[in-house]
């Protein structure tokens, strides 16, 4: 899209394409009736600003016709119907992909025809013709698998014909699609794979597919696998009500997948026509291909299909402006929305951490685990992972040596939480007051706080004041580990590492094993809550954990002000729910700031819209306007790209947990410590408005 036509609120500016599957009204062998059904759905899709509309296989003639497929009268009626649909497509937004029998050189092919803006752009024949059980397609149709570099005459006009076609919008980069038909994706070698390797970001499957028990699940399996393996979006449309039920039945299933994620699914067994819509992120597809060298190796091994495929270019007449976003966006991309998936993911995440820690305990042959307990989320989660590891290894929980180390700003609430946790989990618990040692260090380095503290003046709460406390805690833990032949368990999480919200070296950035380093803050809350809901520990433990969950996130390094307001992490670095959203889309998908902002705005602009994770507290269902999102994203980019990499470059060992990525320099993320964020900040400031 040209820069002078850029509109932040237009989804097309961010590489989105609106796809729909259609289940039109159909009547067996009634071509005129079917033509009207196809046009009605095209008009309905136009009203909903659809870019690409997929119909079922042979929808123009209907599929279950048996020997009627060979009747000249039917074939001629189909050709006339194509002309009617072509004429009706003028002025309509959607590119139509319809199924029809097509004659060429004395043969009949089962084809997909692509029609846009009053033009038949091309025809793709079916490669694999089923001829087993209830299917007899080879009786009527010719195979199209070897049809390349050919043309066919359709109503007097020559159009590209073959399995070597992909279709690309010249004015919407990323809007490129390929086609396969029904049985093609049941074959061991899918024709659609070659189209994807040639550059198609979207694969379409026109299907008839009579329904039997369990077949819907099989289709889902194939669609999901195809979209994952081919790194693409995959749309599927099956025949519905109106096909012949002489021996078979039809459910009209439509679905759209993107990189293995189900975006939308139609209602099955509907009597009325139906459109099933989803907005596809082609930039996400292209970014993933850029990352995955295996995809590009496969293209080379397949003989570089991009060199032999014909790209049929067209200018797409899309609807510009703000047309919304027909796409479910997870506010918490590291946390599933569905209850059953939440349980499954929490189970896996928790046990990944437990398993990793058990292996390190065995390898290091330690006699204890040393951990600092603040009463906050991160140290609490590290404690429950350590407790489960000891349980699994048959070790007493007294193996865990837990220390709470109150400083100048430790509140009674968090200190109480820490003791309740340690006592409930029956670990070896001790308290070390770091204030005397901190005062001594501050005095030794001539810090103004020490002098002010002695004279009763106003304290100076700068970075040095904060890090003296953080450093002392870590120093104590390492010396205690030496003393008790132990392993210091790190408590810092993925979100803090992304933002650099940790004290480098002799501070909470360092440990012997960083068990939380792969877990974002938003997921940690759900993991703790999951352990209480699934009876991982005793009722006393659950009660202590619930109190931690109710506590505001704070480093507690600066004392409360005169009004009693405590130091708030999120007021300084931004809400973790936004930072984790930013992190996921930057780290996992490499999206540019304007794209991240667009997604974030649609995800968070209305608290009463979209899905929330199961049992998410009503009082914490926030919403954010674009100005707020832009402001916090700018701070995130500055911290993530320019400020904090040196801390990640010296990261201790710890397990990767989420498919969203990790920040270990030995794993998902490798970056220079002296990079500047100018490119990212400039893109954000240029392309993201300051308000809604």
Active site residues per annotation:
57, 126, 182
Picking from 164, 125, 178, 147, the residue whose alpha carbon sits closest to that of residue 305 is: 164
Length of the chain: 692
Cα distance between residue 338 and residue 344, in whole Å: 10
Is residue 379 within a helix (H) or strand (E), and if so which, with residue range?
A: helix 377-393
**Strand partners for 255:** 236, 265
Is residue 526 within a helix (H) or strand (E), and if so which, with residue range?
A: helix 521-533
β-bridge pairing 16-23 and 274-281: antiparallel
C-beta atoms surrounding 661 within 10 Å: 22
Cα distance between residue 528 and residue 376, in whole Å: 11
Cα distance between residue 23 and residue 54, in whole Å: 9
* Structure-block tokens of residue 343: 């349980």
**Strand partners for 202:** 177, 233
Q: How many CA atoms lie within 13 A of 657 on its CB side?
A: 31
* Structure-block tokens of residue 37: 């059904």
Cα distance between residue 176 and residue 168, in whole Å: 4
β-bridge pairing 157-161 and 150-154: antiparallel
- C-alpha to C-alpha distances, 559 to 320, 361, 374, 470, 654, nearest whole angstrom: 53, 37, 15, 14, 32
Cα distance between residue 593 and residue 641, in whole Å: 12
* Structure-block tokens of residue 586: 């930057």
- Provide the sign of the torsion angle of the four alpha carbons 92, 94, 98, 104, taken in this order: positive
431 with 405: CB under 8 angstroms? yes
DSSP letter string over 602-628?
HHHS-TTSS---TT--GGG-----HHH
Picking from 253, 250, 263, the residue whose alpha carbon sits closest to that of residue 224 is: 263
DSSP letter string over 191-234?
HHHHHHHTT-SEEEEE------TTHHHHHHHHHHHHHHHTTSEE
Picking from 582, 588, 577, the residue whose alpha carbon sits closest to that of residue 616 is: 577
174 with 103: CB under 8 angstroms? no
- Which distant-in-sequence residues (6+ apart) come within 8 Å of 666 by Cβ? none
| ∠ CA 537-540-546, rounded to 5° | 85
Torsion, CA 613, CA 617, CA 620, CA 625, rounded to 10 = 40
* Structure-block tokens of residue 268: 């099955």
237 with 275: CB under 8 angstroms? no
């Amino acid at each position: 899209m040209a820069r002078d036509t850029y509109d932040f609120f237009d989804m097309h500016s961010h590489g989105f394409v609106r796809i729909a599957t259609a289940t039109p009204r159909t009547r067996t062998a009634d071509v005129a009736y079917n033509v009207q059904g196809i046009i009605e759905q095209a008009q309905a899709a136009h009203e909903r600003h659809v870019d690409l509309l997929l119909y079922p296989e042979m929808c123009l003639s209907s599929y279950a016709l048996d020997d009627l497929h060979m009747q000249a009268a039917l074939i001629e009626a189909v050709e006339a119907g194509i002309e009617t649909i072509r004429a009706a497509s003028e002025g309509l937004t959607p590119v139509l992909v319809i199924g029809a029998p097509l004659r060429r050189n004395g043969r009949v092919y089962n084809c997909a025809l692509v029609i846009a803006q009053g033009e038949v752009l091309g025809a793709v024949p079916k490669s694999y013709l089923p001829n087993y059980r209830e299917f007899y397609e080879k009786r009527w149709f010719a195979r199209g698998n070897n049809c390349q570099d050919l043309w066919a005459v359709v109503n007097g006009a020559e159009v590209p014909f073959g399995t070597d076609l992909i279709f690309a919008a010249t004015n919407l980069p990323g809007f490129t699609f390929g086609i396969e038909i029904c049985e093609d994706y049941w074959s061991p070698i899918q024709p659609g794979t070659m189209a994807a390797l040639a550059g198609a970001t979207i694969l379409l499957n026109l299907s008839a597919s009579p329904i039997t028990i369990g077949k819907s699940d099989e289709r889902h399996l194939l669609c999901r696998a195809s979209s994952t393996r081919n790194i693409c979006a995959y749309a599927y449309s099956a025949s519905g009500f109106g096909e012949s039920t002489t021996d078979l039945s039809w459910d009209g299933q439509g679905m759209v997948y993107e990189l293995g994620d189900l975006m939308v699914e139609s209602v099955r067994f509907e009597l009325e026509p139906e459109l099933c819509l989803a907005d596809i992120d082609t930039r996400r597809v292209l970014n993933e291909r850029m990352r995955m060298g295996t995809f590009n190796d496969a293209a080379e091994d397949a003989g570089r299909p991009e060199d032999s495929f014909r790209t049929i270019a067209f200018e797409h007449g899309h609807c510009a402006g703000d047309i919304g976003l027909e796409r479910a966006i997870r506010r918490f991309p590291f946390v599933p929305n569905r209850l059953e998936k939440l349980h499954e993911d929490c189970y896996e995440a928790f046990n990944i951490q437990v398993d990793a820690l058990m292996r390190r305990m065995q390898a290091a042959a330690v006699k204890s685990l040393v951990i600092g307990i603040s009463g906050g989320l991160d140290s609490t989660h590290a404690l429950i992972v350590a407790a489960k590891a000891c349980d699994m290894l048959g070790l007493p929980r007294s193996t865990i040596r837990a220390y709470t180390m109150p400083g100048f700003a430790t509140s009674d609430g968090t200190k109480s939480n820490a003791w309740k946790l340690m006592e409930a989990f029956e670990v070896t618990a001790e308290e070390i007051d770091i204030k005397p040692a901190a005062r001594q260090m501050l005095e030794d380095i001539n810090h103004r706080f020490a002098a002010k503290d002695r004279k009763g003046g106003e304290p100076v709460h700068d970075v040095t004041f904060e890090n003296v406390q953080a450093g002392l805690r870590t120093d104590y833990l390492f010396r205690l580990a030496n003393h008790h032949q132990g392993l210091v368990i790190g408590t810092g999480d993925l979100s803090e590492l992304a933002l650099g919200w940790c004290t480098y070296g002799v501070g909470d950035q360092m440990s012997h094993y960083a068990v939380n380093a792969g877990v974002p803050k938003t997921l940690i809350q759900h993991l703790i809550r999951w352990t209480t809901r699934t009876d991982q520990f005793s009722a006393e433990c659950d009660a202590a954990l619930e109190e931690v969950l109710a506590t505001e996130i704070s480093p507690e390094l600066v004392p409360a002000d005169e009004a009693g307001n405590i130091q708030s992490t999120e007021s300084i670095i931004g809400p973790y729910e936004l930072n984790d959203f930013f992190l996921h889309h930057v780290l996992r998908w490499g999206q540019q700031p304007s794209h991240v902002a667009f997604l974030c705005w649609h995800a968070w602009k209305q608290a009463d819209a979209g899905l929330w994770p199961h049992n998410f507290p009503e009082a914490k269902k926030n919403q954010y306007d674009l100005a707020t999102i832009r402001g916090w994203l700018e701070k995130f980019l500055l911290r993530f790209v320019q400020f904090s990499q040196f801390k990640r470059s010296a990261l201790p060992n710890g397990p990767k947990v989420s498919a969203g990525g990790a920040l270990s320099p030995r794993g998902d993320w490798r970056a220079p410590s002296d990079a500047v964020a100018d490119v990212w900040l400039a893109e954000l400031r240029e392309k993201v408005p300051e308000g809604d």
